[in-house]
Amino acid sequence: MKSFPKLLTIVTLTALLASCSANSAASEQLHNSMPLDNYSYLSPEAIVYASSISNLVATFPLFSNGAVNKEVSYLKNSLSDYLGAVRDFNQNSKHKSLQDFEKYYKNIQKLRKFLNADDDELLNRYMVKIKTNINLLEASQSKTEEASVSAN
């Protein structure tokens, strides 16, 4: 009976290793069948900033003022366009979407006076986080571009 626990341990370990190998092979096959990584030229920090912007767009709350919500919707669309342009490395589209973002940002700032204090504070937190992440992403990209130019 003493060999039974050893046998059970060996069988369990063998099954575990086979499972890990199968998962690794499936993961590698899935990764290899995926299209080329569109973000391969971005630094890891740039990916974090872009991801943060995307998460903020996805979780942007609704407010008590319809006009603010309308401008926020436009702002979210311009941010989605911006992230798409960053992903596709389309400088013209990125520039246009940043101009649109600035326009909607200013419109929202003008409309903030019509919000209650809680909504205004919440909106301000989102706007600051978005603007900060855009600035960090732009700075990160310019560092990457400078490094690639100096390498050539």
Gap between the Cα atoms of 57 and 78, Å rounded:
10
Question: Do 53 and 8 fall into the same domain?
Answer: no
**pLDDT: which is higher, 43 or 125:** 125
Question: Do 79 and 8 fall into the same domain?
Answer: no
Mean pLDDT within 21-28: 39
Nearest to 97 by CA among 76, 75, 73, 81: 81
Q: Tell me the three state secondary structure of residue 96.
A: helix
Q: Tell whether pTM > 0.85.
A: no
What's the pLDDT band for 147 if we cut at 50, 70, 90?
A: low
Question: Do 56 and 28 fall into the same domain?
Answer: no
pLDDT at 32 (0 to 100): 40
Question: Do 26 and 61 fall into the same domain?
Answer: no
b/e burial code for range 23-43 (CB count within 10 A of at least 16 → b): eeeeeeeeeeeeeeeeeeebe
Residue 67 counted as domain residue: yes
What's the pLDDT band for 118 if we cut at 50, 70, 90?
A: very high
Residue 39 counted as domain residue: no
Neighbours of 97 (CB within 10 A): 21
28-49 residue pLDDT tens:
443 343 333 555 678 899 999 9
The whole-chain average pLDDT of the chain stands at 79
Question: Do 52 and 16 fall into the same domain?
Answer: no
Question: What's the full length of the chain, in residues?
Answer: 152
pLDDT at 39 (0 to 100): 56
For residue 68, the enclosing domain spans: 44-151
Question: Do 123 and 50 fall into the same domain?
Answer: yes
Question: Do 109 and 127 fall into the same domain?
Answer: yes
Residue 134 counted as domain residue: yes
